[in-house]
Amino acid sequence: MATPAKQAAIADLTEKFRESGAAVLTEYRGLTVSQLSELRTSLRANGSYAVVKNTLTELAAKEAGVTAFDGQLVGPTAIAFITGDPVEAAKTLRDFAKANPLLVIKSGLLDGKPLSAEEITKLADLESREVLLAKAAGAMKAKLSQAVYMFAAPLSQTVRLVDALRAKAEQNGGADPVAADAPAQAEAADVAEGGDES
């Protein structure tokens, strides 16, 4: 039976698995304490980085219903528990691994689905949530501008027509152009009616 300290560690890891939207399993063999500290600091905005004991992590993962790391918990293991933007966290891990090749990204978990190391790299290549939102907002703004233009076009045509009628009225000595055309319209109506009678 596990000691109270081990039970507390398992409970803590189980909670981290449950609270995290994503997790990345790494091997840190050969990294110094200062390098691990640097990685923890760089991940702080989007989650936490914890050196873990394989047996306890295996138990915690099982308790949390996580199967993505089955059979991979060997060697010096650390897990990035991601509670923020998974794309930004993946970028941070990828960039750190490029600068420190001793960090090995083994696999991951995103919204309950397992990820391979290659899929984590692809995730890191995506644009951040903020950039995607900005692009979506820009696209929506462009569409709204087009809609406003389309609705404004008939309105501006109507204004030009009214201005043209007003100018015509001023040329006719201030008479209402519609009233001025009334006798001609009445005459046309009479002709039409006369044509029907014959």
Q: What pLDDT, in 10s, does the model give residues 84-132?
A: 999 999 999 999 999 999 999 999 999 889 999 899 988 888 866 666 5
DSSP one-letter code for 38: H
With residue 156 as reference, give the H or E element that holds it: helix 129-171
With residue 8 as reference, give the H or E element that holds it: helix 4-19
At a CB cut-off of 8 Å and minimum separation 6, what does 27 contact?
Answer: 75, 76, 77, 78, 103, 104, 106
pTM to 2 decimals? 0.62
- Do residues 30 and 116 both lie within one domain? yes
Q: How far apart are the first and last CA of the chain?
A: 113
Full residue range of the structural domain in which residue 44 is found: 4-126
Q: How many domains does the chain have?
A: 2
pLDDT given at position 162: 78
Region 8-23: mean pLDDT is 93
C-alpha distances in Å from residue 18, one per residue of 72, 83, 111 = 19, 10, 10
CATH number at residue 32: 3.30.70.1730
- Do residues 81 and 160 both lie within one domain? no
The answer to whether 115 touches 108, Cβ cutoff 8 Å, is: yes
- Do residues 28 and 42 both lie within one domain? yes
